[in-house]
Structure 1
């Protein structure tokens, strides 16, 4: 088994990459692993593609944030001999939150990762780009697309950066005109939020569909239509906490395998931290899966977050 560490040296604090390699050396024997550094956008995917091209069993460690993980996932998708994990070095690492409140911290244990189990995870195909966590296309996407501006500010961490970006985008106006088709729901008008969940978390801690499972073959979709700033302020907390069933007058939900949406002007869409802009999108459950490995003592179906938030039976469409 080969172990390949794909490291984004710009993620995390100064010297994070050097300290990571010290930990790798303490766990892995010489010759048991390889390390490669990214220098820019697309490098993580290219490095991962070279690693899987041999067709031999390999474990890929995406060392960075959500963007680094997304690139490695796109390279390994559909390759049965390859498995992916995320060693958190970024400010987000939202997919790891699906493993529970302590889950993100467990992914810093390299020995637990090396010997951990793996499971197939569903993927979303959004205009050809694959994602494993959350796709958003509303004010939430515009917030995520601009959050990097605030992360550069002194003493501004991940969650605070998202809050500052949210305030800035809400001030510009919450809704944009859009046409959305998901299952039996056809909507044309102002859209505040369109969110499609395979995982559970995005935006530095938002958990809109807490019962979402990344391996159940179902995409969980929420559509928030026309809403003013005052109402948005009242509802956003419930949306972030996964209480969408309390707001049927505002939030339309569908649990299925595809959604299409379009607009006269380009829509900002964020796929696991990667930004796309176009006037028309088709998002569907991909035929490809990716193997994801993790510490043996955590699993998304057993996370305490799921147990705490799953309220009652879900009546919508196969749930």
Structure 2
């Protein structure tokens, strides 16, 4: 078996790439492995697909955040002889949170990860773009998409950029947009605040809209929040972030199935595992393709489900 490490040198703190390479060399001495580096958007997908098409059993380690993992997913989907994983490098590894507390340490233990089990996971297809974790389209997506604009400002940190984006989008640009949504028997035609489709459980650095979501159950868990006032939005967001959507049936519509469509006369911003898409009509469906994902031998997303439900009372705990 070959092991391919796709390293995003732009992710993480200064020196993190050199540290990771040293750990790879120490853990994989005597094994068949290769280290490749991304230089631009899309490189991880192309490198993964090229390795898959070369044939032979291979494990691909996406070393970076959710964006690097998403690219590897799109390159490996449908190839039965390929398995992928995510080695945390940076701050954004929301998909790995389904494995419970200690996920960062577990997925950083390269020697154990190399021989860990694997499973075929479901994928979401969003206008041809595949996603593994969460797709959002609403004020939360616009906040996420605008963060990079504020990171470029002097003295603005990552957290500060998120807060600035949140304030501007919620207080000044408005929460809702005109949208037509169809999911199962639910049809909504009017202003919409949030659309969220979950295959995984977490996004946005620790938000857990559907705590019971499973990435291998053949079901997409969908939530739609129609237009609400700012007061209701700020009152609602805590419950939404902790997976308590069933407590708010009057303002959060849920459906658990395989397809959702939404459209608008204006551009819609959708975020697929951290990757931004812009269009006026989207169809998100359960993909026919799956991806093999390998993980530490002492971790399993179903075992962490109970922990996730118990800890819903504190979004800060989920973010650790």
Which residue number corresponds to residue 64 of structure 1?
A: 64
Q: Please report the TM-score for the alignment, with normalisation by the length of structure 1.
A: 0.93
Secondary structure (helix, strand or coil) at the match of 1:287 reads: coil
> Offset of 1:149 from its aligned partner?
3.2
Report the Cα offset of residue 242 of structure 1.
0.7
Q: Secondary structure at the residue paired with 1:147?
A: helix
Residue by residue over 1:284-310, the C-alpha shift from the partner in whole angstroms, topping out at 9 and shown as x without a partner, is 000000000000111100015335269
Q: Where in structure 2 are the equivalents of 1:214-233 lying within 5 Å?
A: 214-233=215-234
Cα pair 1:52 1:82 within 8 Å, conserved: yes
CA–CA distance in structure 2, aligned partners of residues 151 and 30 of structure 1:
42
Please list the CA deviations of residues 123-164 of structure 1 after superposition, one character each: whole Å capped at 9, or x if unmatched.
00000000000000000111111122344565734x554344
Gapped regions of structure 2 (runs ≥ 5): 314-320
Give the equivalent residue in structure 1 for 2:308: 306
Please name the residue that 2:251 is paired with.
250
How far residue 31 of structure 1 moved from its aligned partner, in angstroms, is 5.5
Paired position in structure 1 for 2:210: 209
Worse-superposed segment, 273-282 or 296-305: 296-305
Deviations 1:45-64 (A, max 9, x none): 11111111122100000001
Partner Cα separation in structure 2 for residue 23 and residue 145 of structure 1? 33
Hey, what does 1:315 align to over in structure 2? none
Maintained 8 Å contact 1:218/1:255: yes
- 2:274 is matched with 273
Aligned residue for 1:236?
Answer: 237
SS in 1 for 2:78: coil
1:75 Cα deviation after fit: 0.5
- Stretch moving more, 193-202 or 142-151: 142-151
Q: Please say if residues 197 and 223 of structure 2, whose CA atoms lie closer than 8 Å, have aligned partners that are also in contact.
A: yes
Aligned match of 1:296? 297
Equivalent residues in 2 for 1:98-117 (5 A)?
Answer: 98-117=98-117
Contact persistence 2:211–2:309 (CA under 8 A): no
Give the secondary-structure state (helix, strand or coil) at the position aligned to 2:253: strand
Hey, what does 1:316 align to over in structure 2? none
In the comparison of the two structures, how many residue pairs are matched? Answer: 310
Secondary structure class of the residue paired with 1:177 = strand
- Structure-2 residue corresponding to 1:97: 97
Shift, 1:169, TM fit: 1.3
Distance of 2:156 and 2:145 partners within structure 1: 20
Residue deviations 1:182-229, cap 9 Å, x none? 000000101000000000000111000000000000000000001011
TM-score, normalised to structure 2, is 0.93
Cα distance in 1, alignment partners of residues 269 and 180 from structure 2: 14
Aligned match of 1:25: 25
Report the aligned-residue RMSD.
1.6
Q: Distance in 2 between matches of 1:236 and 1:212?
A: 19
